[in-house]
Structures are given as structure tokens and as C-alpha cells.
Structure 1
Amino acid sequence: MDFTPAIKLLNSCNTVLILSHHNPDADAYGSSLGLALALRGVGKEVVVANQSGKVGRFSFIPGFAEVVDKIAVNNPELIVFCDCGELRRVGERFEQEIKTIKCSTINIDHHATNDLFGSVNLVDEHASSTCEIVYNLLRDAKIDIGKEVATALFSGISGDTGSFQYSSTTEAAFRVATELVAFGADAYFVACNLWASRSLAALKLEADVISNLKSHCGGRLVEGLITEEMYNKHGVDSSEADFIVGRLRDIKGVEVAVLFRKEDDIWRVNLRSKSTALDVSAVAAKFGGGGHKAAAAFRSKMELESFHDQVIRELMDLFEG
């Protein structure tokens, strides 16, 4: 990948706004915060904003406290989008505000469905994570990577590879992770906070979902459901449910899992598969979403009954391909 155009833009500006997708995950936070910390180290003024603000379970990522939920910078010279497959992934409110800002943009992402909306696009669908791309950008730009930057970037790689278990775990991912540890990333600290700190209430919600699973195709496809009443019953924040669809996929014999989640009058639908041969991103795209072949999602404001059966049919069709 040629990082030269992006490096020229970074070198030519002093004020940078960094955005990532709403409902952020470890890669969204890790890439935006890791880049922000590195750029501040060379004297740039950087604001990191996310429409969802601060999602508490990622508070361990260095720089997290500085994330804001509004575009709190006037006339930035550059906007960098991290982990956004398309502009609208920043959220409806942010998307409208961005349209009034006239400046260059850098789009850093690893989704195959990315529509290359930036002035400069650093998109590599073979990268394990956006954090991996940010790391290579910083190395090419000869910007120092300290312990905090390394920990932020390691967090995103760990998150998007499922702690180095998913098919996205490549030789390059291991190499970058190893180099980040050499730069000071605390792998144990990240593992404890990202993978071993779930609340008892979240586990009870997961048990509730699993006890009511529905299966199709002889158990190769399973579906789970979380209603707003279930969130209230267990006192669980919606961000704590992000693990559950992966747990459904992990069941022996299951090849594809779908989780329907009702949150704030919107249905969030998470799709996972054990094999990239079963491309759930193609299904998500039919409903206006996207993602990766083994992990994708979409959102809908319609009633579940109006699209549920079609989703299940589309997923069942994957086994016929």
C-alpha cells in the first residue's frame, strides 16, 4: 500500500479531526485513539469524536477519556475516518455536520465493502483490522510509537481477530502485534480488559438468549433474540451484548449465527459465520448493511416481523451455494 499521499496530507496540516463508526468496537476506538496519540506526539492538534461517545467497556484504551460525542472543532484542516466502510457509518447526526466542512479526508479501513469515499483511501480488505493499517501508516511516516499508542493499536487488532482466533488472524497480524508488544503494548492488560471482564448481568442475558435459541438447517444456522425488555430485566447496557452473537457461532455444529437486537426503536442485526465461504456480508448488504465475510451487520427501523423471515431465508440460501 502506498502511504505517501496520506503522509503528505498529515504533514501539511495542524488541526485534525478523527472520526470512527457509531456503536464503536475496539478497532474503531483503538485506531482513532492510537492515531490521535501519535499525531499529538508530533505537535498536531487532534480531536477524536464518535457519535456514540464513550462506551464504557473500552475505557481501558489509552486516550479514551478524550473522546467526545460532538464535532468539537471549527474548520479542521483534515478529517480522518477510521474503520468506516462508508461515510454514513459515522452516524446520521455526524454525517450531516460533516457535509458542511470543506477539507481533505483520509479514509482508513479494512472492509471489502468500503466505497472509497475519502480524498485519500487507505483500504486493505486483507488487513486484520484498521489498527493494523494505522500501524503501517505510522511506521512509513516515521512517527514514534510509544507504549500508549502501541496499547491502543494492539487493542483493536485483538478485538477484530477475536484475540487472534478468527480467520482474519494472518501472519501480518501476528507480526504487527509482536512489534506493538516490543513498543510497549501490554498484551495481558488488553486481554483482561477486553476478553475477561464481562459482568454477571451480561452473562445472565447471554444465558437467557441461549435458552431461547431457534435453529435451522439441522443446527447449522441459529438465531437469537434480545428485546428491550430483556435488557431492562438484566440491567445490561447494549454494548455488553456485543459478545453474544460470537458465542452463538461458537456452539458446536453451528456454522452461521444471527442475533436480532432491539435497541432504541431500531433493530440491530449481527451476523457471524465460521467460514468465509459462507459470506454473511452479502446478506447484510441486501438489507443496507455490510462488513466482512465472516462478520457483518445491518440496522432496520422496520418491525422485525417485516424482515425476519427474509433474513433467515437469505442465510439458509448460503448453504445452497
Structure 2
Amino acid sequence: MNESKSIFETDTSIKFKKLIFSLRGKKVLVIGHVRQDGDCIGAQVALCRCLNAIGAHAQITYDDPIPRVLKPFVGDTPTLSVGDIPNDAFVPITVDCAEAFRCGKTISQRFPTIFLNIDHHHLSNPGYAVHNLVENEAATCAMLAKYFFEGGFPIDKISAQALLLGIAMDTGRFLYPATTADTFSLAAKLVRLGANPAMIDNLVFNNDSIGRIRLLQRFLSSLQMEFNSNVCIGRLSSRDYKEAGAIREDSEGFVTYTRSIQGVKVGVFLDDSLGFLKASLRTDNPAYKVNDFAKQFGGGGHICAAAFNIQQDIDSFYPTLIEKLAEHFKQHNLPVS
């Protein structure tokens, strides 16, 4: 592969190329965030395969099990459970992790210093690694696809499929506001390399377990309308998961139902099944800045999609949520009443 600069390379892709080639012959762990989504898994798989193609010894690792619907996209990519990481010297790289703690407690303790942080959460990522590539992109997979194409890196069929998976999921199947003409251009190039959009549709969006359907019933029945129906809030507890015969990953994407209701400006999903409360927020209107709202609870994300964790249960936190939402709407002069 030609390592010389291409006239089409951006400064960030040049930096990416130099950093990646510095890892030749080294053991590398490509780390994602807890509760992996398609962009996380796609970025891990594609970057790991790229590293191995140029002579590194890379594996992907994870604190949570890879979700059932995403396992087929891993293919023969080398994987290593966090509990099986040997005491060797690894170079840690994070992808799609806005903050270091999002890698999980075990990984954060084992690797307090991250070599490279590649992420598209540009509003909330503080640049916690030695080297940081943080951009305003639709998906981390879109960043990697750009780097690969601009730098002339090899992209095999599994990598192309993984990158398309991440782009498709983080753009809401190319419907979210962050989707641009460049996003479609990257996707087209990946399809030409063998990525199959139908595989994503069949395995991710039309492959529900009966437990997920039963859990969805419970979630939809929990919906509460607040602020004159401008805010919709849904909830799930550990009891809901148990009685539905569902697992954690089965609630992935449920927050979109809260936002999809006519007239709703902000959708919220509250889940306290893990011994703490996870709150996910979505909006179609950037003016509502849900990432700013999440920051006051130690969270973050995108301007239209954010989340935070807090050590409370739903019932005790709910009044605080309503109070803080009212303050947030007033502060930003947002109409919700």
C-alpha cells in the first residue's frame, strides 16, 4: 500500500494514516462502549481489520456481550472478551466512545491511558486520549470510511458491511438531520465494495425476538405525556424485562417511539433495570439541545440524541426530571406549554 500523501487527503486522514502505520507489529485492542450499537460494532470491526491488514496484531474487545442481531457483522474478526485479556502490553484504541468511562469499569481501570480516541460525538467528547480524532460526522463509521478511502486503506467485504451498518444505524437509515450528500456517497462506495443494505434490514430491523415484542408492549403501555403532550416519557424496570422474557439489548431503539408521536418535541426513555437509572433523550429539533440537558447529570451525546446515568430509581427521579426539563425549556425559550 502506498503511504505517500494523496491530494484528496484531509489533515485528519493524514493524521489517522500516520498513527495507524505507527502500530505495525504491535498488539492493539480496539475498544467500544458498553451496550454496543451498530456504529460501535461496525467501527470496531472495520478498524481492527484495517490494522491487521497493515501488519498490526489487533483484536476487538467488549465489556458487554455483542448483541444478538449484531454478531453476524463481526464475521471472522478477532475478538477478545474483557475477562480474557492477558497481561500483555496492548495499545488501546477507543471508537465511538464520547468519554473514557463509557468503555466500562473493567477496561477503564485496565487502560487508564488511551492511545487513540476516534469518535463523532464532537459536542461531548473532551479529547481524553493521547491522540484524538473527534469530528462532527453522522457516525464514527462515516469517519473511518472517509479515512480509509482518502488514505487508500484496504476495505474487504466484511469491513464494508460493518461500516455501512454503523452509518445506517446512526443516521436512522439515512433519515436523521446529520445525513448529508457525503453520507450517501460513502454508502454508495461501500455497496460497490460488497456491502449489502438488505442484510442490515433483515438482521437488525426485521429480526425481533418474542421477548423484544413483549417488552415493547410493556414499554408502549408505560408512555406518559408531559408539558401539554410536547414531551413523551416511557419506562422499563427489571421486572418488565423478567416478565417479558427479554434481555437488555431487546430495548435498543425503544426511545424512538417516544419521539415518533405527533406533536412530541422531546422523547425520553427511562430504564432502571441495571441497578442505576439510564435516561435516553431524543428530539427532531436541534433547538431543544438534549445534549445540554444531559450534561447537568454527567451525560452527553449529540444535539438531538443524548443520554445519562444516575444512581436513582425511576419513581424517585421522575419529579426531578420534570422540574429540570421545565428549567431547560425556559432557559432556551422553547415552546412546550
Above 0.5 in TM-score?
yes
State the 1:294 CA deviation.
Answer: 1.0
Q: What corresponds to 2:273 in structure 1?
A: 263
Mark the CA change 1:267 to 1:34 in structure 2 (over 3 Å): closer, same or farther: same
Determine if the alignment matches structure 1 residue 113 to structure 2 residue 127: no
The CA distance in 2 between the partners of 1:317 and 1:131, in whole Å, is 35
Determine if the alignment matches structure 1 residue 80 to structure 2 residue 93: yes
Q: Secondary structure at the match of 1:164?
A: coil
- Equivalent residues, number: 316
1:90 aligned residue (94, 103, 115): 103
Q: Is the 8 A contact 2:45 2:77 kept in 1?
A: no
Q: Is the 8 A contact 1:62 1:151 kept in 2?
A: no
| C-alpha distance after superposition, 1:198-234 (max 9, x if no partner) | 2233122212222231111211101111011110111
Q: What corresponds to 1:122 in structure 2?
A: 133
Gaps of at least 5 residues in structure 1 are none
Q: What corresponds to 1:180 in structure 2?
A: 190
State the 1:255 CA deviation.
Answer: 1.5
2:151 aligned residue (141, 146, 160): 141
Mark the CA change 1:65 to 1:7 in structure 2 (over 3 Å): closer, same or farther: closer
The CA distance in 2 between the partners of 1:159 and 1:131, in whole Å, is 10
The CA distance in 2 between the partners of 1:202 and 1:166, in whole Å, is 24
Q: Is the 8 A contact 1:18 1:47 kept in 2?
A: yes
State the 1:31 CA deviation.
Answer: 0.4
Letter in 1 for 2:189: E
1:34 aligned residue (15, 38, 46): 46
The CA distance in 1 between the partners of 2:173 and 2:280, in whole Å, is 19
The CA distance in 1 between the partners of 2:215 and 2:268, in whole Å, is 16
Judge which range, 63-72 or 31-40, deviates more: 63-72
Determine if the alignment matches structure 1 residue 44 to structure 2 residue 52: no
Q: Is the 8 A contact 1:261 1:269 kept in 2?
A: yes
Mark the CA change 1:316 to 1:69 in structure 2 (over 3 Å): closer, same or farther: farther
The CA distance in 2 between the partners of 1:137 and 1:255, in whole Å, is 35
Q: What corresponds to 1:153 in structure 2?
A: 163
| C-alpha distance after superposition, 1:44-68 (max 9, x if no partner) | 2101111113222211213377433
Judge which range, 9-18 or 283-292, deviates more: 9-18
Q: Is the 8 A contact 1:283 1:311 kept in 2?
A: no
Letter in 2 for 1:29: I
Q: Is the 8 A contact 2:31 2:61 kept in 1?
A: yes
Determine if the alignment matches structure 1 residue 208 to structure 2 residue 221: no
The CA distance in 2 between the partners of 1:62 and 1:245, in whole Å, is 25
Q: Is the 8 A contact 1:33 1:62 kept in 2?
A: yes
Note the 1:47-66 alignment, pairs <5 A.
47-63=59-75, 66=78
State the 1:116 CA deviation.
Answer: 0.7
Q: Is the 8 A contact 2:120 2:134 kept in 1?
A: yes
Gaps of at least 5 residues in structure 2 are 1-10
Q: Is the 8 A contact 1:110 1:129 kept in 2?
A: yes
Q: Is the 8 A contact 2:39 2:139 kept in 1?
A: yes
1:314 aligned residue (324, 327, 335): 324
The CA distance in 2 between the partners of 1:318 and 1:252, in whole Å, is 22
Q: Is the 8 A contact 1:17 1:46 kept in 2?
A: yes
